[in-house]
């Protein structure tokens, strides 16, 4: 399955969505979507899920994912780097959810209000408001993560991240398996296997 590598300049963004149509892509950030209204089909790591009214989705770093609307939607989206939260970074970078969806009966009843506050505070010029948005997101993650069954991320996920970062940083230069193997201290056959698999 072909996918795009997404490069984000900001470590933390918030937006309101009326469409949830994105082709397969991957990035080293987390992506949180709260679907207030509507239905969307989410594909992550080749598994399909149905995101419905009131459900929340949390995509972990370096997971290939895509969206396709089934109905008109109203959603909130946060995209943020795991580096923002040193307290959770190890969990966010070494684990992956069995299912990326948290159904409406397992999320805080005031989730829409919490996300609105984060969005408003993040999108101001005031650095204290932006810091407050980060604190509110940390609190929200601490409420949400216990609702998810987390397992160890695939062993090759760190290699994938390193390969993506190197290729992104050096895409204007000639890149070969031999060069990647030398620069990243990996076996070229292993690198070839990763590219073929993913």
| Cβ contact 194:159 at 8 Å | yes
Q: What is the mean pLDDT of residues 139-158?
A: 88
Any idea which residue has 């993560």 for tokens?
145
Lowest mean pLDDT among 47-56, 111-120, 154-163: 154-163
Q: Quote the pLDDT of residue 198.
A: 65
Tokens of 126: 């005031």
Note the Cα 106 to chain centre separation in Å.
20
As a whole number of angstroms, the distance between CA 53 and CA 73 comes to 9
| Cβ contact 101:49 at 8 Å | yes
- Residue-wise pLDDT for 84-142, tens only, equals 999 999 999 889 999 999 999 999 999 999 999 999 999 999 999 999 999 999 999 99
Phi-psi sector, 185: left (phi>0), alpha (psi -120 to 50), beta: left
As a whole number of angstroms, the distance between CA 87 and CA 85 comes to 5
Q: Quote the pLDDT of residue 156.
A: 67
pTM for the model: 0.83
Q: Quote the pLDDT of residue 2.
A: 65
As a whole number of angstroms, the distance between CA 63 and CA 45 comes to 6
Q: What is the mean pLDDT of the chain?
A: 90
> What band does 159 get if pLDDT is binned at 50, 70 and 90?
confident
> What band does 157 get if pLDDT is binned at 50, 70 and 90?
low
């Amino acid at each position: 399955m072909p996918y795009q590598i997404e490069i984000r300049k900001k470590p933390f963004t918030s937006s309101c969505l009326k469409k949830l149509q994105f082709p397969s892509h991957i990035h080293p950030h987390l992506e949180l979507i709260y679907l207030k209204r509507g239905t969307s089909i989410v594909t992550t790591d080749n598994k399909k899920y149905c995101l419905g009214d009131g459900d929340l989705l949390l995509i972990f770093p370096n997971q290939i994912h895509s969206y396709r609307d089934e109905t008109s939607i109203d959603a909130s989206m946060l995209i943020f780097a795991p580096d923002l939260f040193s307290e959770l970074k190890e969990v966010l970078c070494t684990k992956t959810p069995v299912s990326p969806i948290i159904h409406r009966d397992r999320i805080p009843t005031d989730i829409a209000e919490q996300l609105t506050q984060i969005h408003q505070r993040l999108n101001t010029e005031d650095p204290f408001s932006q810091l407050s948005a980060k604190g509110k997101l940390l609190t929200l993650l601490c409420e949400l993560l216990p609702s998810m069954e987390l397992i160890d991320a695939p062993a090759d996920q760190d290699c994938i991240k390193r390969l993506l970062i190197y290729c992104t940083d050096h895409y204007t230069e000639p890149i070969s398996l031999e060069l990647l193997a030398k620069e990243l201290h990996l076996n070229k056959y292993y690198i070839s296997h990763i590219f073929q698999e993913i």
